Amino acid sequence: MRTTIAGTLLVTVVVSIVLVGEPHHSNGAPRRPGFQVDNGRLYDADDNEFVMRGVGHSHATYPERTARMLSDVKAMGANTVRVELSTGAVAKRDDAADVAHVIALCRRNRLICVLVVHDTTGWGFRREAIPQARAVDYWISIRKALIGQEKYAIIDVANEPYVLDNVQRWPGDTMDSIRRLRRAGIRHTLMVDAPDWGQDLSFTMRDHAAGVFAADPERNTVFSIHMYGAFFRATNVHDYLGRYIRARLPVAVTEFAYTHHDGDVDEDAIMSEAQAHRIGYLAWSWSGNSGDVSNLDMVTQFNAKSLTWWGQRAFNGPNGIRRTSREATVYAP
């Protein structure tokens, strides 16, 4: 059968459209309008790799401090802030309007906000703590404040939600939480905290990370590790993060300090390893820690002009925030 040149070109164009379709990342998931994980790395909405550098802040406890805090940390070089919220179980509920305001403040300051439910901290040990499933209920209930903000916000499902005897529930419950959020239309990059007060002492998250990642239909989940006394030497840090790097699974250190109740922390190794392997880190925390851990404040009384030793180290020391942070390209003019 004779085919004209025009007909051949038309067939070629049609075939190309069918074959290309929606652009895909190498993990098989289509590109999304917001942050996206690909091959163990986090990319922003402009498809540029993004490495988190910032700190934590308890908006649930100090909502009146949030606006100034975000402005101050931006001025000091941070590109991300992890913002703790409450479902109403432990502190005043941060409703959809409040969460929308927090995201707007982050955008005004050209920051990425990692939003996290704090009320799950120590579930199974702390009487007032709620299970991860209730954190999912909360995210779904305020989804109108979240949908459309995928370029600027990442959702950390629940802070340190499994400790002691309930650790074995982490894999199944976490997969269920991810699926529920996706069914509700939440397409943001998600984060899931490790069990064992966030430190994964049992290696439950490490050993089940591949299965949990595969359970996300968006393939858009980052694993969140908190590094305190369990990471008291460089080999611990190197070995733990190395498992994710070799498996090409996304990991971020979303809390760490230089010491804690459970002992000394090798903050130098954490920051060095994170910088060497382009892993995000969010140091704990800006200000307002309770008396027994007040030494973890980076500034005194929320005053950016009064850096503590820890604040100086985190912002201005080797591999610190000021030297290594790069603004998300979604904020480029």
What is the spatial distance between Cα 50 and Cα 237, in angstroms, rounded to a whole number? 21
Cis before 294 (ω within 30): no
What is the spatial distance between Cα 207 and Cα 202, in angstroms, rounded to a whole number? 9
What is the spatial distance between Cα 262 and Cα 328, in angstroms, rounded to a whole number? 34
For residue 202, count CB atoms less than 10 angstroms from its CB and return exposed for 0-12, middle for 13-18, buried for 19 or more. middle
Give the residue from 285, 197, 275 showing the smallest Cα distance to 241: 275
At residue 190, φ and ψ (nearest 5 deg) are: -105, 155
What is the spatial distance between Cα 83 and Cα 114, in angstroms, rounded to a whole number? 6
Cβ–Cβ < 8 Å for 257, 310: yes
**160 a catalytic residue:** yes
Strands (DSSP E) contained in 172-220 are 190-193
**64 a catalytic residue:** no
111-141 exposure pattern, b = at least 16 Cβ within 10 A, e = fewer: bbbbbbbbbbbbbeeeeebbbbbbbbebbee
Tokens of 132: 């991860």
Which helix (H) or strand (E) segment is 103 a member of? helix 96-108
The active-site residue out of 84, 160, 273, 327 is 160
End-to-end CA distance of the chain, in Å? 54
Cβ–Cβ < 8 Å for 248, 39: yes
Tokens of 295: 């030494």
Tokens of 207: 């050993």
The active-site residue out of 84, 150, 218, 255 is 255
Residues marked as catalytic: 160, 255
